[in-house]
């Protein structure tokens, strides 16, 4: 079986060089990449190991398993990790000019995802190779990954096309009396046969997400631990979100929040459907969600602060009398309007209070104004956009309208 590089060698070098520039600006001596997604982004391989990137010079991917596969997947120098307790001495041998006697080193790592036990062990091992301190460099990684290159954008666009095709095909089977679980299985089938890897990755600790949420009626408004406006009964306490075995009924909202991951990259979109007609209150809320996403789309130009877009959405909700229902209800309201997507579903930037980062070309953001009504359900819409020099370009392909089924 042939295994080829998934990310071109030149692109891997560009990403490493961008990180090295940030390291030099912040006086960071080296970076230790530990998490699968970060390893893939900076090396093109997701094999088990650690990617060591000095602020200048050649990076090395120290691989535990599989060394042979890593060599086929990445253009970065690959070395066997060997005995883990000797890792500090290995770095000392491979980078003698960096680990000099008497020199205090600042080595950054993706501490937002690194387990505490591994952090303490790495601190101990690096200390054996000299005077080192392991500092948090996760913000540098997340800032770099905010700006997507053409390869990343093309994969997100491919995922968007797959979601549109799968949803269009699956709607033929959405009818009164079908269970949420049965219909979600049909959606997942349509996604998988088109290349969906079956995962939607998240960076947040203890945050998990399935391929999507398909929830009918009041169940969508049942709160759960997931940081979003909809919960769902799920299949039990061990999976307390998304689809259940509940039956789809007439004249109630059906929230269709589905994603897809093609070649590592995700798309995120939501549509609201109804068999028959929405209640007046929910129909009004859906129309407000459409007006918010349209206004946000028009304001998503380079230089606009992410926090400003969130504030404007809150103002629109207040003017419509829907503030109490925006992005959840009561203590369970989510405090954002949108989020970055890419290799993970919860990337930067975030359209939220205090996130004063200006929009830049290359960002990809999912905008999802939704309204939650306990006892009735959730309505709303979500599109994913690419920020260009001229404004927002919609990447989602499904028609942005309420889906009314007979």
Residue 368 is encoded by which pair of tokens? 């999802």
Nearest to 314 by CA among 340, 339, 287, 296: 296
Mean pLDDT across the stretch 220-227? 90
Range name among 129-133, 350-354, 370-374 with the lowest pLDDT average: 129-133
- Measured CA to CA in angstroms, residue 99 lies from 80, 122, 189 at distances of 20, 15, 52
Mean pLDDT across the stretch 101-105? 80
Angstrom distance (rounded) from CA 61 to CA 63: 6
In this structure, CATH architecture of domain 147-405: Alpha-Beta Complex (3.90)
Residue 348 is encoded by which pair of tokens? 């930067």
Q: What is the pLDDT of residue 115?
A: 96
pLDDT tens for each residue of 1-35: 567 779 999 999 999 999 999 999 999 999 999 99
List strand residue ranges (DSSP E) for 278-363, in order. 338-340, 347-351
- Measured CA to CA in angstroms, residue 200 lies from 28, 95, 105, 213, 265 at distances of 32, 37, 36, 12, 9
Q: What is the pLDDT of residue 1?
A: 59
pTM for the whole structure? 0.96
Place of tokens 């039956």: 247
pLDDT tens for each residue of 57-75: 999 999 999 999 999 999 9
Q: What is the pLDDT of residue 17?
A: 98
Please check the confidence at residue 223 and state whether its pLDDT lies above 80. yes
pLDDT-derived band of residue 129, with 50, 70 and 90 as boundaries?
A: low
Mean pLDDT across the stretch 205-216? 90
Superfamily of domain 9-144: Creatinase/prolidase N-terminal domain (3.40.350.10)
Q: What is the pLDDT of residue 128?
A: 64
Query: For all residues of the chain together, what is the average pLDDT?
Result: 95
Residue 135: φ, ψ to 5°? -115, 165
Q: What is the pLDDT of residue 68?
A: 95
Residue 12: φ, ψ to 5°? -60, -45
Residue 179 is encoded by which pair of tokens? 């269970």
Q: How many CB atoms lie within 10 A of CB 96?
A: 9
Mean pLDDT across the stretch 131-139? 92
Q: In whole angstroms, what separates CA 357 from the centre of its chain?
A: 18
Q: What is the pLDDT of residue 3?
A: 75
What are the sequence ranges of the domains in the chain? 9-144, 147-405
């Amino acid at each position: 079986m042939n295994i080829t590089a998934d990310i071109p060698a030149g692109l891997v070098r560009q990403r490493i060089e961008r990180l090295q520039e940030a390291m030099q600006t912040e006086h960071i001596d080296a970076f230790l990449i530990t998490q699968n997604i970060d390893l893939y982004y900076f090396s093109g391989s997701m094999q088990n190991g650690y990617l060591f990137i000095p602020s200048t010079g050649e990076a090395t991917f120290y691989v535990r398993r599989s060394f042979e596969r890593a060599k086929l997947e990445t253009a970065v120098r690959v070395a066997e990790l060997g005995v883990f307790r000797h890792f500090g001495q290995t770095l000392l041998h491979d980078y003698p000019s960096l680990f000099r006697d008497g020199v205090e080193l600042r080595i950054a790592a993706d501490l937002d995802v690194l387990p505490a036990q591994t952090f303490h062990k790495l601190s101990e091992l690096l200390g054996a190779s000299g005077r080192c301190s392991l500092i948090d460099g996760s913000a540098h990684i997340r800032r770099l990954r905010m700006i997507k290159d053409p390869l990343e954008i093309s994969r997100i666009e491919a995922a968007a096309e797959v979601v549109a095709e799968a949803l269009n095909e699956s709607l033929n089977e959405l009818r009164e009396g079908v269970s949420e679980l049965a219909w979600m299985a049909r959606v997942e089938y349509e996604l998988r046969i088109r290349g969906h890897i079956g995962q939607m990755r998240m960076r947040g600790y203890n945050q998990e997400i399935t391929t999507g949420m398909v929830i009918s009626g009041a169940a969508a408004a049942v709160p759960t631990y997931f940081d979003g406006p909809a919960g769902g009964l799920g299949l039990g306490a061990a999976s307390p979100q998304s689809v259940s075995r509940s039956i789809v009924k007439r004249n109630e909202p059906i929230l269709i929040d589905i994603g897809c991951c093609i070649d590592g990259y995700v798309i995120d979109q939501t549509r609201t459907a109804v068999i028959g007609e929405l209640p007046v209150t929910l129909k009004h809320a859906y129309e407000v969600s459409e007006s918010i996403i349209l206004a946000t789309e028009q304001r998503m130009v380079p230089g606009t602060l992410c926090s400003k877009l969130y504030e404007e959405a809150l103002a629109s909700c207040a003017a419509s009398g829907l503030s109490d229902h925006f992005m959840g209800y009561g203590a369970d309201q989510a405090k954002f309007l949108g989020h970055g997507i890419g290799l993970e579903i919860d990337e930067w930037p975030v359209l939220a209070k205090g996130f004063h980062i200006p929009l830049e070309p290359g960002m990809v953001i999912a905008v999802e104004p939704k309204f939650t009504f306990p006892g009735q359900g959730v309505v709303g819409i979500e599109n994913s956009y690419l920020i260009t020099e001229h404004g927002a370009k919609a990447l989602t392909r499904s028609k942005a309208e309420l889906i009314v089924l007979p």
